[in-house]
Amino acid sequence: MAGGQERILKRRISSVRSTKKITRAMELIAGSRIVKAQAAVKGALPYSELITKVVADLAAGGGSINSPILKPRERVKRSAHIVIAADRGLCGAYNSSVVRAAEGSILEDEEMGAEYALI
């Protein structure tokens, strides 16, 4: 190989390695941000559960509203899982977390013998 081509290849290899290091650092930062966001969601869970209970109580007490959707069920026969993942930026860690959570929820349905649809 001529000296000029070898230098060009070495520079290109160095550039690719540098880009790989930068990309890895960005992935780590994105992963840590997701962990922080998940902690915030977990912290808000008690409030979410309470709001859900309040809305259910209000719906149950609304005399003229008589919908089968608002009635509590003893056993859930079918459920739908809506899974939303990202396709822009460094979203690998986020997508992995979403898929893991969806799989866990689906396993719960399977253990209870409930049918499910994945959307």
Domain for residue 84, yes or no? yes
pLDDT tens-place string over residues 5-36: 999 999 999 999 999 999 999 999 999 999 99
pLDDT tens-place string over residues 55-70: 777 767 655 556 666 6
Domain for residue 7, yes or no? no
Q: What is the CA radius of gyration of the chain?
A: 24
Domain for residue 108, yes or no? yes
Distance in angstroms between the alpha carbons of the first and the last residue of the chain: 55
Domain hosting 108: range is 74-119
Q: Count the domains in the chain.
A: 1
∠ CA 38-24-22 to the nearest 5 degrees?
125
pLDDT tens-place string over residues 76-98: 788 888 888 888 888 888 999 99
Domain for residue 46, yes or no? no
Report how far apart, in Å, the C-alpha atoms of 50 and of each of 39, 40, 59, 60, 73 are: 18, 16, 14, 15, 19
Domain for residue 80, yes or no? yes
Domain for residue 62, yes or no? no
Domain for residue 99, yes or no? yes
Tell me the catalytic residues: 91
Domain for residue 43, yes or no? no
